[in-house]
Structure 1
Amino acid sequence: MFKSDVLCVGSATVDNMLTMGQPFSSLKLGDKVLVKSTKTHTGGGATNSACALAKLGLKVKILTKLGDDHNAELILKELKQNHILNVCSCRSKKNTDTATIISSTKEKDRLILVHKGASTEISLCSHHKQNFRVKWIYLASLMGHSFSTAKEIARQAQHKKINLLFNPSLYLAQKGRNYLAPVLRATTILVLNKEEMQSLLNTKEKESFSLLQKAKSLGPKTIVITDGPKKMVAWHENKIYSLIPPDVPIVHTTGAGDAFTSGLLYGLIKNYKFEDALRLGQVNSSSVIQHYGAKKGLLNEKQALNLMKRSKIKVIIKNIDV
C-alpha cells in the first residue's frame, strides 16, 4: 500500500532575489550597483517540486537536509503549510543551502549564485528506506556526499520497481554520462534543458531533435528537453513530441523548470495522455514565470486545466520507426 504518491529528494534553499535596473552587459568588475528591489523566497529542487505536486493535489513527502539555523525554520514552516513531511529530522552543522539570484529589468534572465551546505550531507538510513512506499521518486540534483545517496536511491528504486524521475542541474550534468550512469540506468523519465543535455552528452549539438536522438542511449524510457521560450521536444514510447511554449509576460524565470517537470509528472501519475501531461507542465511553468519566486504562481489541477483549455498549446507528434 502506498502512503504517498511521490518522494521528492534534493536540496532546500532560501533564495535572496535582487533586481537591478541595468543590463548585465553594462556592468564591470568593481562596480557598486544599486538594486531596485530585494525579495526572499524558499527554493531548491526538492521543495519546489514537492510544493508544486502538493498544490496539484498529490500526497508528497520530501527527503532533504537542513542546517540548524533561521533559514531552516523558514523552509519547515512552508513545508508544514503545504502538508509536506521531511523524512530527515536530523540537522546538519553546515548552514542551510542559500542562493542569491540577480536579475535585471532589462533582460528576462538571471544570474544565480548558490552555496551548497546542508544538502551535501543527505544520507539514507533504515528509517528513510521505509519511506520508499511511494509510486514515484522525484530526484533533483544532489552534490558531494549526497550523490552517493542518489545512487543508493536509484538502486532502491530499481529493486522496489518504483518509477524514478531524474531532473539534474547543470553542474551535475557537467559531470557527464559515465558519472551519472548508476542513476540514469534506473531513471524512467529524464528532464533537462538544452544546455544541461549538451553538457551531459559532451556535445556542441544545437538541434534539439538531434540531441534527443543522442540521448536515447542514456537509458531512460522518456526524455524531455526544454529550451526556455523555444521549442520543447520529448521522446516517449517511440514517438517524438514537440511544442512551443505560449508567449507570456516574464517577470522571473526561477522555478520554471521545477514547475514544468512537476506538472508533467502529475499528469502522468493521473494517467493523462502524454501530450496533455506536457501541456499541464507548460501552463504550470508559464504561470510561475509571471511571478517572483519559484512557488508563487503554482497551479492547482482545476486552474491548470482551465489554462490548458484557454491556451490551446499545439503538440506535434511523430511516430518513429525503431
Structure 2
Amino acid sequence: MHKPYILAIGDIVTDAFIKLKDDEAEVITDEHGNKKLILPFGTKPPYDHVDIVQAVGPSPNAAVAFSRLGANAGLMAYMGDDTPGQDMLGYLKEQHVDTSTISIAEGEKSNYWYVLRYGAERTILVKNEKYDYTWQEPNEVPEWIYLSALDGASWQLHMELLEYLGKHPDTKLVFQPGTFHFKWGAEKLAEVYARSHMVCMNKEEAADVTGRALENLEDLFDGLHNLGPEVVVITDGPNGSYASDGKKIISIPNYPDPKPPLDRTGAGDAFASTITTALAQGESLETALSWAPINSMNVCQHLGAQAGLLSKDDILQLLADAPAEYIPTVISGSSEQSPEEIAQSLVENPKGIFAADESGGSIHKRFEQYGIDDSEEVRRTYRQLFFTSPGIETHLSGVILFDETARQKADDGTPFPELLQSRGIIPGVKVDKGIVPLPGFEGEGVTSGLDGLPERLAEYYAMGIRFAKWRAAFTVTDTLPSDAAIAANVHALARYALDCQNAGIVPIVEPEIVHEGDFTIERAKAVSSRVLDALFEELALLGVHRKAMLLKTSMVLAGSKQPQSSPEAVAVATVDVFSHHVPHDLAGIVFLSGGQEPLQATNNLQAITNKGAQAWPITFSYSRALQEPVIQAWSGKSENLSHAQDLFKKLVQANSNATIQQDSIKTIF
C-alpha cells in the first residue's frame, strides 16, 4: 500500500491539564445550549491533579495521527529553545514524525497552555509566544499539506505557502481552520480556500464562514464548495458527521463510546487527520468518513489529544466490530460511483465479496448432498437466507449473483440487487457461460459467453448491477496448462473486461488455478506466474483500465492430492508471485477459496494479511468456504433459518477479521 508523505503546518504547544474537583464547580447552559463553567471571583476552587501533555496542537496531533495510520509524517511548527521545546522535539521523533521543518527561535519560550478539565469538558487558557513565521523548505515535496491553527502573526507564512503550492500543483492542501483563520474570514483567506482540496470544520463554523443558515446542511456544503475545495467535511457533534465531494453528501453516525468520554481534547483533529490519511492512501470518501469517527471516539477515551490515536489495523478491527447501523449513507445528490470508486469500494478492508453465483448444476449437487429439493423457489429462499442475514453489511462490500438470482425477488417483492443496494452492498453478476472443451487439447477448456455480452451487460447495468465476474480455469499437471489454453483464456478474459468497462461495469477477472490435482506448491508458483504474465499482457494489449478492475485468483498452494502447505508457506509463495507478476496500479486482488476447507481458507487469508501492506488492497471473494457450513445448518428447513443466518454472519466476520493484521486468528472454528 502507498505510504504518502503528509506535512502538517501549525502551532505546537505543551498542555498542562488541571483537573478540577467535579463537585466544586458550577456549570450552566445558556439559551443557545452552550455549557459554561462558573468560577466566581475571590474563591479558591480546588483542583484534583495536573497532567502535562507535550507536543500538541491541531497540526502536531495530526502529524502523529498520520504516522500511526501508516503515512510518512512531517511537521512545520515554531518553538523556543527551552526545555519544553527540546522535550517536544524528542517526543515527535519517537512518534516517527519528521522534525526537519520545525523552526527553533533562539532565546524564546515554547508555547505553554493551561487546560481546565471538568468532567469530559474543558476550557483552554491560551498564550502564544512570538515567533518569526517563515516558510521552512521541506527536504522532499509533500503529496499532501495539512494546514491548521496558527497565531495571528503568521499571515506571511500563508502567502509563502500559496507560493510553494503554486510551484507544486500536484500537492493537495487540506485546510482545518483555527481561531485566527475564522477571525480573518473567508474573504481574506479566499486564495487558501480556493487552493484547498479539502476543508474540515464543524457545523457552526461552516455557518459563520459561509453566512448561511445553520439548519440548511445542503446550503452549508454549497457555500463551502463555492469557496473552492473539492471535498468538504462538516462535523455535527452528537448528530454525527458529513462529507461531500460536490456530487453527493454522505453521513455517518458517531461510533458508539465503549464508556463515557474522559476528555474531548483533540477529537476534531483526530477526525480531520484520519480522513486526510485515508484519502491520501487511496481510500474512497465513504471509507475515509467511516474511519474518522472511530479514531475520534478513541481519543476521547484518553487524556490528551494523542494518547488514543489508533493504527490503521486498530481502526479496521473496530470497523469490523461496528454495529450494523454504523455505515456511511448518501443523503443528498447522486450516489452513483465511478467504476474506479466501485473497484476501490469492493476491496476496502475489512470487507470482502460473497460469491453466490453457482450455476444450476453446481447448486443442484449441493442440494442433493443435503437432501434438499431443487426448485426455483427453494433456490430463491436459499439465496434470501444470505441476503437478509442481519449485520452482514459490516463485513461484505459486494455479492456476486447468478443470472437467475439477479432476477429473483425477496418475499416482500424487492429485487435482490435492490435489496443488496439498500444494505450498502454492491450487487454483481457472473456473466460467463461456463467452460467448453478446447479443440485439440485434451483435458483443457476455454470459457464461453462472449457472444451477446455487450447486450447482456447493458441489461444488467439497468438492473443496478455494477460489477461482473468471468472465470477461466486452468488444470495443473506436469505439462498443463498448455500455452494454447492460457492464450485462449486470457484473450477471453481481456475481451470480457473491455466489454464491461465500456458498459460502466467493473470487471473481476478470475484466472483460477484449479486446486484439485497432484502438484506441489512450487509447481503452483510457476503456473500462476505464467498465467498472470500472459493475462496482464493481454489486458494491456486491449487497453483495459487496471484501476477500474479487480483480479480474483487462487492463493498459491499445493494441489489437493498433496500434503497441504502451512498458512505461512502459502502466504510467502502467494506474496512472492503476486508482487512480481501483478502490476501495482491494479485496483485490488480478491482471493477465491478454490476448494479449500473453510478454516483453511480463513487461516491462509490471515497469514497473507500478516505479511503486511502490499501494493494493492487484498480481501476475500469466497463461495464454498462461506456457504458449506450454512447449507448444512439450514438443510432446507425454515425452522433452521435463524441459526443458519447467525452462522453465516459469523463466517463472514471471521474472514473480515482475517483482512486485518493480528497475531492470533480470530475465527469461529
Alignment TM-score, normalising by the size of structure 2:
0.45
Counterparts of 1:207 and 1:132, CA distance in 2: 42
Q: What is the CA-CA distance between 1:206 and the residue it aligns to? A: 3.8
Say which is worse superposed, 252-261 or 149-158, in terms of deviation. 149-158
* 1:156 alignment counterpart: 164
SS at match of 2:261: coil
Contact 1:174/1:196 (8 A) holds in 2: no
* 2:47 alignment counterpart: 35
Q: What is the CA-CA distance between 1:37 and the residue it aligns to? A: 2.4
Say which is worse superposed, 17-26 or 299-308, in terms of deviation. 17-26
Q: What is the one-letter code of the residue matched to 1:154?
A: L
SS at match of 2:319: helix
* Gapped regions of structure 1 (runs ≥ 5): none
Asked if residue 305 in structure 1 is aligned to residue 320 in structure 2, the reply is no
Residue from 282, 299, 302 that aligns with 1:291: 302
Asked if residue 71 in structure 1 is aligned to residue 84 in structure 2, the reply is yes
Q: How does 1:1-322 map to 2 (within 5 A)?
A: 5-20=5-20, 21=22, 22-25=25-28, 26-42=38-54, 43-86=56-99, 87-105=101-119, 108-118=120-130, 120-124=131-135, 128-131=136-139, 133-161=141-169, 162-203=171-212, 205-248=214-257, 249-312=260-323, 313-318=326-331, 320=333
Say which is worse superposed, 79-88 or 310-319, in terms of deviation. 310-319
SS at match of 2:250: strand
Counterparts of 2:5 and 2:192, CA distance in 1: 20
Greater RCO (CA < 8 Å, at least 6 residues apart): 1
Contact 1:197/1:225 (8 A) holds in 2: yes
Contact 2:61/2:305 (8 A) holds in 1: yes
SS at match of 2:137: helix
Counterparts of 1:262 and 1:145, CA distance in 2: 24
Percent of aligned pairs with the same residue?
A: 27
Q: Residues 16 and 90 of structure 1: is their aligned pair in 2 closer, same or farther, counting only changes over 3 Å?
A: closer
Say which is worse superposed, 306-315 or 280-289, in terms of deviation. 306-315
Contact 1:3/1:133 (8 A) holds in 2: no
SS at match of 1:175: helix
Q: Which runs of 4+ in 1 moved over 6 A?
A: none
Q: What do the CA deviations read for 1:245-295 (whole angstroms, capped 9, x no partner)?
A: 123121111011111111111111111121111111111111000110000
Counterparts of 1:307 and 1:273, CA distance in 2: 18
Q: What is the one-letter code of the residue matched to 1:153?
A: L
* Gapped regions of structure 2 (runs ≥ 5): 29-37, 335-669
Say which is worse superposed, 217-226 or 196-205, in terms of deviation. 196-205
Structure with the higher fraction of residues in strand conformation = 1
Say which is worse superposed, 81-90 or 296-305, in terms of deviation. 81-90
Counterparts of 2:306 and 2:68, CA distance in 1: 10
Q: What is the CA-CA distance between 1:99 and the residue it aligns to? A: 1.8
Counterparts of 1:30 and 1:24, CA distance in 2: 18
Say which is worse superposed, 96-105 or 284-293, in terms of deviation. 96-105
Say which is worse superposed, 48-57 or 95-104, in terms of deviation. 95-104
Q: What is the one-letter code of the residue matched to 1:96?
A: S
Q: What is the CA-CA distance between 1:113 and the residue it aligns to? A: 1.6
Alignment TM-score, normalising by the size of structure 1:
0.90
Aligned length: 314
Q: What is the CA-CA distance between 1:239 and the residue it aligns to? A: 1.0
Counterparts of 2:3 and 2:104, CA distance in 1: 22
Q: What is the one-letter code of the residue matched to 1:263?
A: T
Structure whose alpha-carbon radius of gyration is higher: 2
SS at match of 1:24: strand
Q: What is the CA-CA distance between 1:92 and the residue it aligns to? A: 4.8
Counterparts of 1:93 and 1:3, CA distance in 2: 37
Q: Residues 117 and 264 of structure 1: is their aligned pair in 2 closer, same or farther, counting only changes over 3 Å?
A: same
Counterparts of 1:209 and 1:101, CA distance in 2: 35
SS at match of 1:95: coil
